[in-house]
Amino acid sequence: MLGIEGLVDASFEGDRRWARAANWTGYAPWLVLMMAILSMIEIALGAVWISSMTRELNFAQVIQPLIVPGLCFFNTIPSLHLHVLARANPPRLALWFSATLSVVLFASALIFFGACVDNSDPRGGGPLQRNECPAGTGGRADIWDAMVALQLVSALMYAAVAAMAWKVNRVLEARDERIAAGVELVSQEEKERRESEARERWRYLSAG
Protein backbone atom coordinates (compact mmCIF):
# COMPACT_ATOMS: atom_id res chain seq x y z
CA MET A 1 0.00 0.00 0.00
CA LEU A 2 1.15 3.50 -0.76
CA GLY A 3 2.45 5.15 2.40
CA ILE A 4 2.89 8.80 3.28
CA GLU A 5 6.40 8.70 1.81
CA GLY A 6 4.87 8.24 -1.64
CA LEU A 7 3.36 11.71 -1.44
CA VAL A 8 6.85 13.18 -1.89
CA ASP A 9 6.63 12.08 -5.51
CA ALA A 10 3.18 13.60 -6.07
CA SER A 11 2.82 16.24 -8.78
CA PHE A 12 -0.18 17.96 -10.31
CA GLU A 13 1.77 18.20 -13.56
CA GLY A 14 0.27 14.76 -14.08
CA ASP A 15 0.95 12.36 -16.93
CA ARG A 16 3.37 14.00 -19.37
CA ARG A 17 1.45 12.52 -22.29
CA TRP A 18 -1.65 14.45 -21.20
CA ALA A 19 0.34 17.66 -20.69
CA ARG A 20 1.98 17.41 -24.12
CA ALA A 21 -1.17 16.52 -26.08
CA ALA A 22 -2.57 20.07 -25.79
CA ASN A 23 -2.38 23.02 -23.42
CA TRP A 24 -5.86 22.39 -21.99
CA THR A 25 -5.48 18.63 -21.43
CA GLY A 26 -2.74 19.25 -18.86
CA TYR A 27 -5.35 20.59 -16.41
CA ALA A 28 -6.97 17.16 -15.97
CA PRO A 29 -5.43 16.47 -12.50
CA TRP A 30 -6.85 19.71 -11.10
CA LEU A 31 -10.24 18.99 -12.63
CA VAL A 32 -10.30 15.51 -11.07
CA LEU A 33 -9.37 17.01 -7.69
CA MET A 34 -12.27 19.47 -7.96
CA MET A 35 -14.62 16.61 -8.85
CA ALA A 36 -13.45 14.64 -5.81
CA ILE A 37 -14.22 17.60 -3.55
CA LEU A 38 -17.59 18.15 -5.22
CA SER A 39 -18.53 14.49 -4.80
CA MET A 40 -17.88 14.72 -1.05
CA ILE A 41 -20.02 17.86 -0.83
CA GLU A 42 -22.78 16.13 -2.81
CA ILE A 43 -22.72 13.11 -0.48
CA ALA A 44 -23.01 15.43 2.54
CA LEU A 45 -25.88 17.33 0.92
CA GLY A 46 -27.57 14.05 0.05
CA ALA A 47 -27.41 12.93 3.67
CA VAL A 48 -28.91 16.25 4.83
CA TRP A 49 -31.58 16.01 2.13
CA ILE A 50 -32.61 12.51 3.23
CA SER A 51 -32.69 13.51 6.90
CA SER A 52 -34.96 16.48 6.04
CA MET A 53 -37.63 14.31 4.42
CA THR A 54 -40.92 14.09 6.28
CA ARG A 55 -42.15 11.00 4.43
CA GLU A 56 -40.99 7.41 4.86
CA LEU A 57 -37.64 6.69 3.17
CA ASN A 58 -37.37 4.02 0.47
CA PHE A 59 -34.43 2.66 -1.53
CA ALA A 60 -35.22 4.73 -4.64
CA GLN A 61 -34.69 7.90 -2.62
CA VAL A 62 -31.13 6.84 -1.74
CA ILE A 63 -29.87 6.19 -5.28
CA GLN A 64 -29.53 9.75 -6.57
CA PRO A 65 -28.60 11.67 -3.40
CA LEU A 66 -26.03 9.14 -2.10
CA ILE A 67 -25.20 6.31 -4.50
CA VAL A 68 -24.62 8.45 -7.63
CA PRO A 69 -22.19 10.91 -5.93
CA GLY A 70 -20.68 7.93 -4.10
CA LEU A 71 -19.80 6.36 -7.47
CA CYS A 72 -18.14 9.64 -8.45
CA PHE A 73 -16.14 9.72 -5.23
CA PHE A 74 -14.88 6.16 -5.68
CA ASN A 75 -13.94 6.98 -9.27
CA THR A 76 -12.01 10.18 -8.50
CA ILE A 77 -9.77 8.62 -5.82
CA PRO A 78 -8.05 6.08 -8.14
CA SER A 79 -8.09 8.72 -10.89
CA LEU A 80 -6.17 11.10 -8.64
CA HIS A 81 -3.69 8.31 -7.91
CA LEU A 82 -3.09 7.76 -11.63
CA HIS A 83 -2.85 11.48 -12.41
CA VAL A 84 -0.90 12.78 -9.41
CA LEU A 85 1.10 9.88 -7.94
CA ALA A 86 1.65 7.32 -10.71
CA ARG A 87 1.50 10.03 -13.41
CA ALA A 88 0.57 7.35 -15.93
CA ASN A 89 -3.15 7.52 -16.72
CA PRO A 90 -4.40 5.51 -19.72
CA PRO A 91 -6.55 7.96 -21.71
CA ARG A 92 -8.90 5.31 -23.08
CA LEU A 93 -9.74 4.11 -19.56
CA ALA A 94 -10.33 7.70 -18.41
CA LEU A 95 -12.52 8.32 -21.47
CA TRP A 96 -14.88 5.42 -20.77
CA PHE A 97 -15.26 6.11 -17.05
CA SER A 98 -15.65 9.88 -17.45
CA ALA A 99 -18.15 9.63 -20.31
CA THR A 100 -20.23 7.04 -18.43
CA LEU A 101 -20.36 9.06 -15.21
CA SER A 102 -21.16 12.24 -17.12
CA VAL A 103 -24.21 10.53 -18.67
CA VAL A 104 -25.27 9.11 -15.28
CA LEU A 105 -25.05 12.54 -13.62
CA PHE A 106 -26.95 14.26 -16.42
CA ALA A 107 -29.66 11.58 -16.27
CA SER A 108 -29.89 11.91 -12.50
CA ALA A 109 -30.27 15.70 -12.70
CA LEU A 110 -32.90 15.41 -15.44
CA ILE A 111 -34.90 12.95 -13.33
CA PHE A 112 -34.71 15.40 -10.43
CA PHE A 113 -36.03 18.20 -12.67
CA GLY A 114 -38.68 15.97 -14.25
CA ALA A 115 -39.99 15.03 -10.83
CA CYS A 116 -40.89 18.65 -10.12
CA VAL A 117 -42.74 19.34 -13.37
CA ASP A 118 -46.41 20.09 -12.72
CA ASN A 119 -46.21 19.21 -9.03
CA SER A 120 -49.24 21.22 -8.02
CA ASP A 121 -50.85 18.19 -6.39
CA PRO A 122 -50.39 18.74 -2.64
CA ARG A 123 -50.34 14.98 -2.08
CA GLY A 124 -47.10 14.70 -4.02
CA GLY A 125 -48.23 13.73 -7.52
CA GLY A 126 -46.78 10.63 -9.16
CA PRO A 127 -44.07 8.21 -7.96
CA LEU A 128 -41.20 10.43 -9.16
CA GLN A 129 -42.57 13.47 -7.36
CA ARG A 130 -43.07 11.49 -4.16
CA ASN A 131 -39.54 10.07 -4.36
CA GLU A 132 -37.54 13.08 -5.56
CA CYS A 133 -39.29 16.44 -5.46
CA PRO A 134 -39.36 18.58 -2.29
CA ALA A 135 -43.12 19.00 -2.67
CA GLY A 136 -43.58 15.23 -2.60
CA THR A 137 -40.97 14.24 -0.02
CA GLY A 138 -41.26 17.19 2.33
CA GLY A 139 -37.49 17.69 2.10
CA ARG A 140 -35.69 21.02 2.17
CA ALA A 141 -35.98 22.81 -1.16
CA ASP A 142 -32.69 24.74 -0.72
CA ILE A 143 -30.72 21.52 -0.21
CA TRP A 144 -32.47 19.99 -3.21
CA ASP A 145 -31.52 23.00 -5.38
CA ALA A 146 -27.87 22.84 -4.31
CA MET A 147 -27.71 19.07 -4.81
CA VAL A 148 -29.13 19.19 -8.35
CA ALA A 149 -26.94 22.16 -9.32
CA LEU A 150 -23.79 20.36 -8.17
CA GLN A 151 -24.76 17.22 -10.07
CA LEU A 152 -25.06 19.29 -13.24
CA VAL A 153 -21.68 20.93 -12.59
CA SER A 154 -20.10 17.51 -11.97
CA ALA A 155 -21.65 16.17 -15.18
CA LEU A 156 -20.07 19.03 -17.15
CA MET A 157 -16.70 18.42 -15.47
CA TYR A 158 -16.79 14.72 -16.30
CA ALA A 159 -17.67 15.63 -19.88
CA ALA A 160 -14.63 17.95 -19.96
CA VAL A 161 -12.34 15.17 -18.65
CA ALA A 162 -13.79 12.79 -21.25
CA ALA A 163 -13.00 15.36 -23.96
CA MET A 164 -9.44 15.67 -22.62
CA ALA A 165 -9.00 11.89 -22.60
CA TRP A 166 -10.37 11.66 -26.15
CA LYS A 167 -7.89 14.32 -27.32
CA VAL A 168 -4.94 12.60 -25.62
CA ASN A 169 -5.95 9.23 -27.04
CA ARG A 170 -6.17 10.69 -30.55
CA VAL A 171 -2.72 12.29 -30.23
CA LEU A 172 -1.16 9.04 -28.96
CA GLU A 173 -2.81 6.94 -31.67
CA ALA A 174 -1.62 9.37 -34.34
CA ARG A 175 1.92 9.16 -32.98
CA ASP A 176 1.80 5.35 -32.96
CA GLU A 177 0.66 5.43 -36.59
CA ARG A 178 3.55 7.72 -37.55
CA ILE A 179 6.02 5.42 -35.78
CA ALA A 180 4.52 2.33 -37.48
CA ALA A 181 4.76 4.09 -40.86
CA GLY A 182 8.39 5.05 -40.21
CA VAL A 183 7.62 8.78 -40.36
CA GLU A 184 8.61 9.27 -36.72
CA LEU A 185 11.40 7.30 -35.10
CA VAL A 186 11.90 6.42 -31.43
CA SER A 187 15.39 5.42 -30.44
CA GLN A 188 16.02 2.21 -28.50
CA GLU A 189 17.65 4.30 -25.80
CA GLU A 190 14.48 6.36 -25.33
CA LYS A 191 12.35 3.20 -25.19
CA GLU A 192 14.57 1.69 -22.52
CA ARG A 193 14.60 4.95 -20.55
CA ARG A 194 10.81 5.15 -20.55
CA GLU A 195 10.39 1.50 -19.55
CA SER A 196 12.95 1.88 -16.76
CA GLU A 197 11.25 5.09 -15.57
CA ALA A 198 7.86 3.39 -15.44
CA ARG A 199 9.23 0.35 -13.57
CA GLU A 200 11.03 2.50 -11.01
CA ARG A 201 7.94 4.67 -10.40
CA TRP A 202 5.63 1.73 -9.85
CA ARG A 203 8.21 0.00 -7.62
CA TYR A 204 8.60 3.18 -5.58
CA LEU A 205 4.86 3.70 -5.21
CA SER A 206 4.27 0.06 -4.26
CA ALA A 207 7.04 0.13 -1.65
CA GLY A 208 5.91 3.49 -0.26
Residues 42-99 pLDDT 10s: 999 999 999 999 888 888 889 999 999 999 999 999 999 889 988 888 899 999 999 9
pLDDT bin (cut points 50, 70, 90) of residue 31 is very high
pLDDT, position 207: 60
What stretches of 53-140 show up as alpha helix (H) in DSSP? Answer: 60-62, 68-80, 91-115, 127-131, 134-137
The answer to the question of residue 181 being in a domain is no
Q: Determine, yes or no, domain membership for 204.
A: no
Q: Is residue 182 part of a domain?
A: no
Q: Which domain holds residue 139?
A: 4-169
Residue 25 lies in a domain: yes
Look at residue 49 and tell me if it is in a domain: yes
Tens-place pLDDT, residues 86-138: 888 889 999 999 999 999 999 999 988 888 876 555 554 567 777 788 888 88
CB–CB of 2/204 below 8 Å?
Answer: no
DSSP string, 9-39: G--TT--HHHHHH-TGGGGHHHHHHHHHHHH
Query: Is residue 87 one of the residues assigned to a domain?
Result: yes
pTM of structure:
0.82
- Cα dihedral value 94, 95, 98, 103, nearest 10: -160
Domain total in the chain? 1
Q: Give a yes or no: residue 31 inside a domain.
A: yes
Question: Over the stretch 168-191, which tens digit does the pLDDT of each residue have?
Answer: 999 989 887 877 766 565 656 666
* Amino acid identity for residue 38 in this structure: L
Q: Output the furthest CA–CA distance in the chain (Å, rounded).
A: 73
Checking if the pLDDT of 6 tops 90, the result is no
